[in-house]
A and B are shown apart, each in its own frame.
Chain A
Amino acid sequence: MLLIHCPYCEDDRPELEFSHAGQAHIVRPTDMDGLSDEEFEAMFFIRDNPKGIILERWRHSMGCGRFLNAVRHTVTDKFLKTYKAGQPRPTDKDIEDLLK
């Protein structure tokens, strides 16, 4: 069972309180009608499945109820960082620093 730091609760909480919510930083376009079929496919269906760093969403559903973002390593399951929904995606440099 993982411990996940909730950026809203500002505390580490047991994984049992959370639910996974898919890949992070996929923004729903304000002009959905303007999407081509290919763009819609990329937005809705296509997801990363990396061995290594993944940016993903969790919801502290049995806690504060907020959706949050996480940088997790899929091999070690280690959470390198969690941050509030809406905050900018960490840069490659940020992630490199986290891995140090």
Chain B
Amino acid sequence: MADSITAERREIVAGFKFANNAVSIEAAPAASRTNLRATTAGAKSFGKSISLELPTIMHETASKAGRHALKLGPDEWLLIDTKNINDSMVPRLANKNFSAVDISHRNCAFVISGAGAANTLNTACPRDLSLAAFPVGTCSRTLFGKAEVVLYRTAKDTFRLECWRTFATYVRDYLMDGAKDAHI
């Protein structure tokens, strides 16, 4: 059997799009993702391996050439590559200072944008999403209804929401229900 991929990759909510006068919600295209748990040294050396200096302050992010690094915990980063979506970022050789695990298929993402984006999220997310409390470039794990999510504010009125694959339909439907009140 050939080494080339003969199977089709399916995203759970591929192509989903919704918009009203206050907010638009779209499924983000497939991406490559890595969960990095690391010491300070480990984060540095991993960053080098993907040519992206990882943020060192909690909830900060760094982006370059379609790659995003989100610092979610003291020793935890979520890495998202929106360009090379089928390439793993996990180095071949083990490194004693970090654990890199491919989670490209574990997560999927929505992009929520528009004047009512924060309102839509605040339907079921208890966090203060004002620009002062959650500035552009900030990320955080939190919850949306009963789903664990990662929020990443990419612009004044744009959020990327990452959730686990099997929570995607729940999150999608909840966002759409919340969107009905987003203009308020």
Contact = CB atoms under 8 A, between A and B. Distances in A.
Interface string A5-19: 000111001101100
Nearest to B133: A11
Contacts of B74: 8, 64, 66
A64 B142 CA distance: 9
A8 B127 CA distance: 17
Contacts of B126: 1, 14, 16-17
Contacts of B59: 9
A7 to B, nearest CB: 10
A56 to B, nearest CB: 21
Interface in A26-72: 62-66
Interface string B52-90: 000000110000000000001110100000000000000
Given A16-B126, A66-B74, A10 B58 contact: yes
Interface string A53-94: 000000000111110000000000000000000000000000
A37 to B, nearest CB: 38
A83 B89 CA distance: 35
Contacts of A64: 58, 72-74, 76, 141
Contacts of B143: 16-17, 62
B148 interface: yes
A62 B143 CA distance: 6
Given A9-B58, A10-B58, A65 B73 contact: yes
B158 interface: no
A30 to B, nearest CB: 23
Contacts of B76: 64-65
Contacts of A8: 58, 73-74
B143 to A, nearest CB: 5
B141 A62 contact: yes
B34 interface: no
A62 B127 contact: no
Nearest to A12: B128
B72 A62 contact: no
Interface of B: 58-59, 72-74, 76, 126-127, 140-143, 148
Given A8-B58, A64-B76, 16 more contacts: A8-B74, A9-B58, A9-B59, A13-B127, A14-B127, A16-B143, A17-B126, A62-B141, A62-B142, A63-B140, A63-B142, A64-B72, A64-B73, A64-B74, A65-B73, A66-B74
13 contacts: A8-B74, A9-B59, A9-B140, A10-B58, A13-B127, A14-B126, A16-B143, A17-B142, A63-B141, A64-B76, A65-B76, A65-B141, A66-B74
